Structure 1
Amino acid sequence: MSAPLPSTPPRPPQDDAPDPGRARTGRILLWQSVALLGMVLSLSLVLPWKLAALVLGLVALVLGVRVWLTSRGERRAGLPRAVAAGGMALALFGTTTAALPLLAWDATVELERCTSSALTVRAQQACADAFTRAVEERTGVPQLRP
């Protein structure tokens, strides 16, 4: 007869095994980074395309909150939370910056039209001065002048 094969003891769980929670947090951080990059790039577009920066900033803000919620019970959640907090701060700043032209939509459209056709520095300065006057008239707040 043959001798029975020795049984191998069960292996302890490895610390290198990927944690599904950390992987999910990493994917959310990746998408937050993509939304932030799109927001920063779309800030240079003309109206109405500049509104994409507003939408992408809000998406990045929501994704940052999701990182905070999904990494709540994880070990070593400090770095993902710090990265998410930085992304949320950038998203808040970009969202505010993208929302400001909505307050003076007509003046902003006129400024973009004027500067696209201005060929000299003097003409660009005239466009900026006209925009400043329009904003002052609309808000009643005098703007700082250099």
Structure 2
Amino acid sequence: MNDDGAQTQTKSPAGADSSRQDVPDEQKRNAVQYVRIFWLLAIATLLSSNLVLPWKLVPIALGTAAVVVGIIALVKAARAKMRPVLPVLISIGLVITFVTTLGMAAMAMLWDRTVTYESCMRSAITLNASESCQSEYLSFELP
């Protein structure tokens, strides 16, 4: 108590209470929405990765959008102080989506070779024919 009879409250050092403050529900809902959108885009990227050219450009666009939304979701989940496992799962999803998108982009960059490989695989009926296509077009030997 001080002189006038009022009790004084002791304040903890700055930052000690800030980690314990409750995050508004709206901020948590916003983070969860971004996480849901990210996972939908990531799953759509993985499911569409088997398309043939020119449709192979679709997973590239979906993957790029998923990486951008995933980074935003990761930041929002961290700021909303969500469970610690959520940022880890988002990070794993980001890595998988990024690698898949990079692979699709590499196939699009090798457009002619990818088209001939896909047409060879479409016409291959037997296992020997498909193995022949794979050995002929998937060998990356330097000339």
TM-score for the superposition, normalised by structure 1: 0.73
Match of 1:29 in 2: 35
Q: Which runs of 5+ in 2 are unaligned?
A: 1-23
Match of 1:61 in 2: 67
Pairwise CA distance, 1:72: 4.0
Match of 1:70 in 2: 76
Pairwise CA distance, 1:37: 0.8
Match of 1:97 in 2: 103
Calculate percent identity across the aligned residue pairs. Answer: 26
Pairwise CA distance, 1:36: 0.8
TM-score for the superposition, normalised by structure 2: 0.74
Question: Is contact 2:121–2:133 with CA below 8 Å preserved after alignment?
Answer: yes
**Alignment deviations for residues 4-58 of structure 1 (CA, whole Å, 9 cap, x no partner):** xxxxxxxxxxxxxx70111111111111111011111111110111111111111
Q: Structure 2 CA distance, aligned partners of 1:24 and 1:98?
A: 30
Structure 1 residue runs of 4 or more that deviate by more than 4 Å after TM superposition: none
Q: Structure 1 CA distance, aligned partners of 2:129 and 2:78?
A: 54
Q: Within the alignment, does 1:82 sit opposite 2:88 as a pair?
A: yes
Q: Structure 1 CA distance, aligned partners of 2:128 and 2:88?
A: 45
Q: Structure 1 CA distance, aligned partners of 2:96 and 2:129?
A: 33
SS of aligned partner of 1:71 = helix
Match of 1:116 in 2: 122
Pairwise CA distance, 1:87: 1.6
Question: Is contact 1:36–1:56 with CA below 8 Å preserved after alignment?
Answer: yes
The amino acid across from 1:56 in the alignment is L
Question: Is contact 1:60–1:87 with CA below 8 Å preserved after alignment?
Answer: no
RMSD, matched Cα: 1.9
- How many residue pairs align between the two structures? 120
Q: Structure 1 CA distance, aligned partners of 2:120 and 2:35?
A: 39
Match of 1:46 in 2: 52
Question: Is contact 2:117–2:137 with CA below 8 Å preserved after alignment?
Answer: yes
Pairwise CA distance, 1:77: 5.0
SS of aligned partner of 1:112 = helix
